[in-house]
Structure 1
Amino acid sequence: MGSLIYGAPAIEVSFDDRTLAHLELLIGAKLRRRESFMLSWRDSTEVGDGRSSAWIDNGIPMFFRYSGSRTPLIDKEWLEELVVQAGSNRGLQLGDDPATEQLVRAKDNSVKRKDHPAR
């Protein structure tokens, strides 16, 4: 698990390295264009299992810390979905990485993967 360390005083939010890599690319692109946005995520059970949000802005310090030494693979389709969400009035509502979604049961009780062509 990597961390996004944000603000002063700093808060540290844990994300898996792959999700954090996508966030780093998204945030870097948005802030280079001076586009602030709201980022929301679901909290882990260790901190209450609720939801949190942060206003992402150029004037607020942030640091990305990865737990692994390898650069995670980037899913361009998922990154594009995140960019669209971040540009919406609601902001980015970060969910699970589509590559790690569990098997789902179809209506006929057969087991299928959720369709996501980039995986």
Structure 2
Amino acid sequence: MGTMYYGGPGTAIHIEDRALAHLKIVIATKLRRGESFTLSWRHPEDEPRGRSTIWLHPSIPLRFVFDEPEPPELSREWIHDLANSANTSGGIMLVAEHMDIAPVEVVVPTAPLEE
């Protein structure tokens, strides 16, 4: 399970490493171009039902931390799908890779993390 820190160390969003690696490619490309967009995901089954959205902007600190030391093999199709959704008014909707059956796991702590 990797972690995306958004806006500082207190905002940790836990995302499965493979999904986070694909997101990193799309997010870095858009931010490098100076583009802002949203990222949305459905809450995991063990949390209250719903979804979350964050606004990604080049001026907001962002850090990706992966549990696995080696990067996973990337799927061009998944990157393409995520990039296409990033260019819509709804932004990126994090969904499972086409070959995966299980949904992508995203965990956002309900209380801020202590430094």
Q: Which residue of 2 aligns with 1:82?
A: 82
Give 2:42's aligned residue: 42
Counterparts of residues 20-31 of structure 1 (less than 5 Å): 20-31=20-31
Q: Does 2:33 correspond to 1:33? A: yes
Sort the Cα spacing of 1:47 and 1:8 in 2 relative to 1 into closer, same or farther, 3 A: farther
* Aligned-residue identity in percent: 36
Looking at structure 2, the residues matched to 9 and 75 of structure 1 have their Cα atoms a distance apart, in angstroms, of 29
Residues 23-82 of structure 1 deviation map (CA, whole Å, 9 limit, x = unaligned): 111011001111110100112245434210000101111110111111111100110111
**Larger RCO, structures 1/2 (Cα 8 Å, 6+ apart):** 2
Amino acid in structure 1 at the alignment position of 2:2: G
TM-score, normalised to structure 2, is 0.81
Q: Provide the residue aligned with 1:60 in structure 2.
A: 60
Give the structure with higher Rg (CA). 1
Determine whether 1:92 maps to 2:92: yes
Q: Which runs of 5+ in 1 are unaligned?
A: 103-119
Runs of 4+ in 1 over 4 A off after TM superposition: none
Aligned counterparts of 1:27 and 1:19: Cα–Cα separation in 2: 12
What count of residue pairs does the alignment treat as equivalent? 102
Helix, strand or coil at the partner of 1:21: helix
